[in-house]
Amino acid sequence: MLSRIRDVRRAKGLTLADVAARCTPPTTAQTVGRLETGIRTLSLDWLNRIAAALEVDSSELVQLPDQASLSVAAILDADGAYAPSKDEKLLAPNIGGDMVGMRIEHSIGEYRQGDELWLEKITPEHFGDALNLDILVPRPAGRFLFARLLGREDGKLHLLPLQAGSRQQVVSDPVWIAKTVRLMRKL
């Protein structure tokens, strides 16, 4: 099994020590490094511990044999673009967990016409994980509300729709919501 731990860790700007400290129970940076490089066997238990530490679904840490990738030609930072010092790949994201998609038909807020959003469905006990994120909320009769989750109090969600001039809305906790996790945009 090929691991994407290093790619995900770097994309989140974390060091080996950061990930080791976030593990439950904590481990060492050396152990995380060995799991990344394959020196140590990546068991299902370790995969789940590292995924929780990185706050991703465990499926995002596994590279599948037929999964597409792109070679990284350049890295952009505050000083400009430069060539990577070693071969790096960008892997296509895995569709994991309970995901749904949404297509943007007209520009609204920071989203442009033609954007595609990947959203992860979550249940009420995890609604706090979506605080200050854009979420899709199911409503009666097959309707939806897409808004920023401002807070949750007494079983009610406080939402700010993205349309200019919209007022805050309060919605009783639905069975699920879907938090935005990935934006796909053509340039």
Rounded to two decimals, what is the model's pTM?
0.61
Q: What angle do CA 142, 157, 147 make, to 5 degrees?
A: 60
Q: What is the pLDDT of residues 28-52, one digit of tens each?
A: 999 999 998 888 988 889 999 999 9
SS3 at position 22: helix
Q: What is the pLDDT of residues 110-147, one digit of tens each?
A: 999 989 898 989 999 989 989 999 999 998 888 899 99
How far is the C-alpha of 113 from the C-alpha of 178, rounded, in Å?
A: 20
SS3 at position 153: strand
Q: What is the pLDDT of residues 55-111, one digit of tens each?
A: 888 877 887 666 666 777 888 878 888 888 877 777 666 666 688 899 998 888 899
β partners of residue 148: 134, 160
Return the structure tokens found at 86. 């070693």
Domains belonging to the chain, first-starting first, are: 2-91 (1.10.260.40), 99-184 (2.10.109)
Find out whether 99 and 119 touch, Cβ atoms under 8 Å. yes
Q: What angle do CA 81, 84, 88 make, to 5 degrees?
A: 125
How far is the C-alpha of 62 from the C-alpha of 74, rounded, in Å?
A: 24
Q: What is the pLDDT of residues 11-33, one digit of tens each?
A: 788 899 999 999 999 999 999 99
C-beta atoms surrounding 50 within 10 Å: 26
